[in-house]
Structure 1
Amino acid sequence: MDQPIFCAQRQLDGRSEEFLHSASAGALVWRKAQLASGDSAAARRAIREQADHINAKHSDLATVFVYEDTFGTRDRIHWLLHLNSLADYPALVRMGPGGAPDGPSNGVLGRAQARNWPELFLPGSVSETVLLPHRWGMFGTATEAMAQDPSVSPVVPEGAQMRFEVEPAQAQTSLPDELTVHSGNAGVIMHRAAEATYEFRAEARVFARTVAENNNLSMNGHSSVFLYEEAFGHMDRLHMLIHMRSLDTFYLMMGLDARTDADAPRASYIQDWISMDKGGGAWDRIMVQGSTHDTLLTPADWSAL
């Protein structure tokens, strides 16, 4: 099996064997920003300081990994903040503001000790997206079985209310943990975003989950794909994190898509996903044309700092 030149969990410097990643977290906060022209080394040192602070001081609540565009915009930085639940985010916020004596003044990707922190990034370039691992029952994918069998229902009682229980992305696959490629051990991650048409929002998620699991079961530990929902942004914008052991794995995935043998998973792309009572049709009717966008991320290597 090919091994990555560098993976994000090495940013932890062996401080913890237990950490959150894209397959084990219940929520991800993806922040991206463009470094300002000038002293990019100073900016990276401040970013490392910030990530180290969260991973060392708040490892019970979160893990953060840092990445850069592989082939996109030079000096564009990406943070993936992994949480067990969104309920942990306010706790991190409370720990951050006010200038903690032993670290950055904001423990949730805010200002670090660097006095020129606002000058490190291009104004207006910082954005955040909250991603929740998809679970059957979200956004039109509930079934009669879920309503009739509490053991498979995503809805659980919480006091007098009912709560949707989000599961980590690892629950999306039958792949064993030891073969899963995730944000910690991947050499590169391709983030794919696409918008589903509202009429076929349930079919879009069934299609995406099927394509993802076809990859997971066929790639034999070289790559893993998981589906996430955008929580507070565009409705029905779907996100896939395609984790690869190395950049060379991309050719193996292309080979999987190009197979024409009887067991090839490419049938997923040509079969009808829309029922005849809705007019029938393949996946091209499900997704908004031109909405798919890929970004390739490489873990930041601190050894040069």
Structure 2
Amino acid sequence: MNDFPPTAATAQHQVRTPPDKTLDTASAEVVLWRSAQIRAGHGPRARSATRALAEEFNERNEGIATVLSFEDAFGTRGRLHWLIHLRSMRDYTALTQRGADRGSGVLGRDAGEDDGWEELFEAGSVQETVLLPHRWGIFGTATQAMAQQESTREGLNPVETVDGRTRFQLLPAARQSSLPIDSLLTSASSGLLMHRTAQVHYAYRAEARVLVRTLAETYNLNAKGRTTVLLFEEAFGQMDRLHMFIHMADIEAYQELMALDASPDPSAPRASYIQEWISPERGGGTWDKIVVQDSTRDGLLVPRTFG
């Protein structure tokens, strides 16, 4: 019997920069989630090209952006995912302009280069979603209940003035948790990354944010060091579709989360699932009235290992 199971590989191994200079789901203000399906027979080439492109991108954009690559663990075989972590929205604009000649957005190369990247993936399979870390009041969802849930790590007023113009202030997702930043698992430090999406009813969009943020922090406090849950909003896609990145140390952490869900302890997540989140004046209701039926999806991503 093996008393020393292998340690799960993390995406941090993909980059040469030290952890404190690697942007990830906890430290970035913008995360681009890009996915693509490898064309049959092109697996080795596609994975090799992914490694080369990621290394070149990270070296060229150190301190501004970090790209980490993943693959479906139990989903569609040959489905690759890239999480492109940006320091700010302004940097997103700069990076897309840099790669505009190639038509590949932030992963573009210099004009005139053709490395055959497009032929490695199925036509129409490349998708990209811009994700922003949630903070109270985003997209007009501020309520008194949200203010009561406010973390001391996250300022209450989300509006700031820059160059004489007001704008919504984006904050890294690490500010969502009361735990120390260095204790959080991220896209760079987790062995497995579960990506959960859920559509919520527009009528209860504010209550949904309070519910999910409460659930996330409940998991974080109960599974500290083993699992970290961070909430993101979809910027240019479907309104009120929430994204939760569930960072797990290894596959056993998933069973530990299952145990948390089954626990009757009042400090465990189950208490939040049976709690009334909708006020009596609006008819009352628990989480199942807030989330659209059959809309929740889980995808398990494993960091690409470059041998």
TM more than 0.5: yes
Q: How does 1:149-188 map to 2 (within 5 A)?
A: 152-188=156-192
> Aligned residue for 1:272?
276
CA contact (8 A) 2:190 2:247 kept: yes
> Aligned residue for 1:235?
239
- 1:205 Cα deviation from its structure 2 partner: 0.6
Residue identity in the other structure for 2:301: L
CA distance in 2, matches of 1:135, 1:302: 35
Residue identity in the other structure for 1:177: I
CA deviation string 1:246-294 (max 9, x = no partner): 0110011111111113433311000100000100010100011010011
1:139 aligned counterpart, secondary structure? helix
CA distance in 2, matches of 1:280, 1:73: 39
CA distance in 1, matches of 2:75, 2:293: 22
More divergent stretch after superposition (38-47 vs 7-16): 7-16
> Aligned residue for 1:217?
221
Residue identity in the other structure for 2:63: D
Gaps of 5+ in 1: 100-104
CA distance in 2, matches of 1:98, 1:278: 52
Pair 1:69-2:72 in alignment: yes
- 1:94 Cα deviation from its structure 2 partner: 3.1
CA contact (8 A) 1:4 1:186 kept: no
CA distance in 1, matches of 2:198, 2:281: 25
CA distance in 1, matches of 2:252, 2:121: 32
CA deviation string 1:112-133 (max 9, x = no partner): 9663222100000000000000
CA distance in 1, matches of 2:94, 2:213: 32
CA distance in 2, matches of 1:291, 1:137: 23
CA deviation string 1:211-251 (max 9, x = no partner): 00000011021000011000000000000000000011001
- 1:98 Cα deviation from its structure 2 partner: 5.2
2:138 aligned counterpart, secondary structure? coil
Report the RMSD for the aligned CA atoms in angstroms.
Answer: 2.1
Cα distance, 1:72–1:159 mapped onto 2, change above 3 Å: same
Gaps of 5+ in 2: 148-154
Cα distance, 1:140–1:274 mapped onto 2, change above 3 Å: farther
Among 50, 54, 79, the residue aligned to 2:57? 54
CA distance in 2, matches of 1:35, 1:43: 7
Identity %: 48
> Aligned residue for 1:83?
86
Residue identity in the other structure for 2:123: P
CA deviation string 1:166-217 (max 9, x = no partner): 1000000001122100000000000000101000000011000000000001
Q: Which runs of 4+ in 1 moved over 4 A?
A: 14-17, 111-114, 143-146
